[in-house]
Amino acid sequence: MFTPRYHAISLVAVFLALGIGVVLGVAVGEEGIVSSASRDLEQSLRGDLDQARGRASELRQDLAQRREFERQAYPALVGNLLPQWRIGIVAMNRLPSGYVSEIRDAVEPAGATIEAVSVVEAPLPLDRVEGELDGTKLERVERDDEVLERFGRRIGRQLAEGGQLVRRLRQELFSTSRGNYEGVDGIVLVRDPDELRGEEKSTQDRFESALVDAAKDGDVEVVGVERSDTDPSQISWFSDQGVTSVDCIDLIEGKTALVYALLGESGRFGIKDSAERLLPPPPERPAG
């Protein structure tokens, strides 16, 4: 089976051949060369271009066949592995377009549903949050790093298990918030690079680390994901947090890896140089 990387390289070669043909054609015309050698060269190049166009057509057909095979085969790879699982998507800073549908396409054939989507605003709106926490042990969240970390851990634990605090602060803390926050079986983490600097970045990093650490402490599996074209990659950040990662959620390989990883396999999976292997070991299927 041809890989996407193979197809990309082949297409680049095709377009390179086309470009060379155009350049040489222009050069021949400008110089006014009408010799037999130039005509032979032109015929040879035209033959090469015809072959390149034919090869490009074959590659498009190969890609279409590969996608259709993946579409039909995927349910057999993951079917009934996550029966009635509730999945929460938690994004840091921003949730790029397409991620929700890609994660849904990964987990729904396995029997799971997307229960909640939460996007943590960046920079953290601690002035609004602190106003809601007035009179509680977390009221100094904007002025005390230890309180900030406790706050991050409370939010992380309640994103996993449900709770009143996260429901109370959903409008202040999240730029996007969907779901009832009554607990999930797995969390899929997305981290979009931010441009924060100085104190704002330190505050955001401290909160994010505390949130992820607390979410991992429970019975909920946490898996970080990104697309195959994400730049800069966030895999190293996931690794630093001790979070299993998948670096190609836009591909069938990544969707399969996400489902397997949610069942407890740890590591870095996918197609990038940072990956330890393509997929986790296939899990045992539930009886019945």
Q: Own/partner pairs for 4-7, CB < 8 Å, 24+ apart?
A: 4/228, 4/251, 5/271, 7/59, 7/62, 7/63
The number of beta carbons lying within 10 Å of the beta carbon of residue 28 is 17
What pLDDT shows up at residue 137? 93
The dihedral through the CA atoms of 28, 31, 33, 38 has a sign that is: negative
The stretch 246-252 carries a mean pLDDT of: 97
Contact 252, 240 (CB under 8 A): no
- Residue 13's pLDDT is what? 55
Q: How many CB atoms lie within 10 A of CB 167?
A: 15
Q: Is 90 exceeded by the pLDDT of residue 29?
A: no
**What single-letter amino acid sits at 181?**
Y
Look at residue 11 and tell me whether its pLDDT is greater than 70: no
Largest CA distance in the chain: 92
Question: How far apart (Å, rounded) are the C-alpha atoms in residues 50 and 199?
Answer: 59
Assign 92 to helix, strand or coil. strand
Q: Starting at the edge strand that comes first in sequence, how are the strands of the sheet with 186-191 ordered?
A: 174-178, 113-120, 86-92, 186-191, 221-225, 244-246, 268-269
Q: Looking at residues 175-203, what average pLDDT do you find?
A: 93
Average pLDDT estimate for 162-174: 95
Give the start-end residues of each E strand in the chain: 86-92, 113-120, 174-178, 186-191, 221-225, 244-246, 268-269
Give the confidence band of 284 by pLDDT, cuts at 50, 70, 90: confident
- pLDDT tens by residue, 199-235: 999 999 999 999 999 999 988 999 999 999 999 999 9
Burial 134-149 (b: 16+ CB within 10 A, else e): eeeebbebbeeeebbb
Q: Which of 49-53, 76-80, 226-230 has the lowest mean pLDDT?
A: 49-53
pLDDT at 3: 59
